[in-house]
Amino acid sequence: MRKYYLKQKAIAVRASYTIYDENEQALYTCKAKMFSPRGTVEIFDASTQSHLFTMQRKLFSFMPVHYLIDHQGNTVATMRQRFAVRRQRVEIESSYGTYQVDGDLWAHNFLIRETGEEVIYVKKKFLSWGDSYEITILSDKNIEFLLALTIMIDRKFHTSKRGK
C-alpha cells in the first residue's frame, strides 16, 4: 500500500497538477493544453520530463467518453460514464484490466475496483488551496497508469465546474 498526493495549482491559466509521494517529492506533473476542444492533458515524469500519458475526451457522445493514450500513441484506457442515481459511476476498459469507479455524489471521494477488488481509494482534502487529494494505491503494479486514471477521473468530474 502506497500513498500519493495530487495537488492542483489554484491560480493558473491552464489546469496544472503535481503528484507527490509520502516524502513530498514531486513524481509526476500534468499540464492541460490551452484552448483544446478535447480537453487534452499531458502527464510527465517530474525528474526526467519524459512524456508518459495523454488524456483526451471524445468530442461528440451522449455519455462522456475519455481516453488515456501512452507515449507511443496507443490508447491504453477508455473511460465511460454510466447512469447512476445519487452517486457517480464510471467504467474503465484498459489494456491492464477492467476497472469500476464508484464515488459520492460530488465525486470528492471515490473507490476504484479491478474485477471487484479494491485498487485505489481517493479522498479529497478540504480546506486546501486548490484541489488536493490523498491517493491510496493498494496494488504494487502499474502505479503510473493508476495515477493517470485518478487524474483522468478528477478531470472528468471537475473540469466543467472549474471552467478549465
Statement: residue 112 has pLDDT above 80 = yes
| Structure confidence by residue, pLDDT tens digits, 44-59 | 999 999 999 999 988 8
Q: Which domain holds residue 95?
A: 2-162
Total count of domains within the chain:
1
d(CA 91, CA 71): 23
| Structure confidence by residue, pLDDT tens digits, 75-89 | 999 998 766 555 667
Q: What is the mean predicted confidence (pLDDT) over 24-42?
A: 87
Q: For the chain, what is the mean pLDDT?
A: 84
pLDDT at residue number 146:
93
The CATH number given to whatever domain includes residue 17 is 3.20.90.10
The model's pTM is: 0.84
Q: Which of 98, 111, 100, 108 is nearest to 157 (CA)?
A: 108
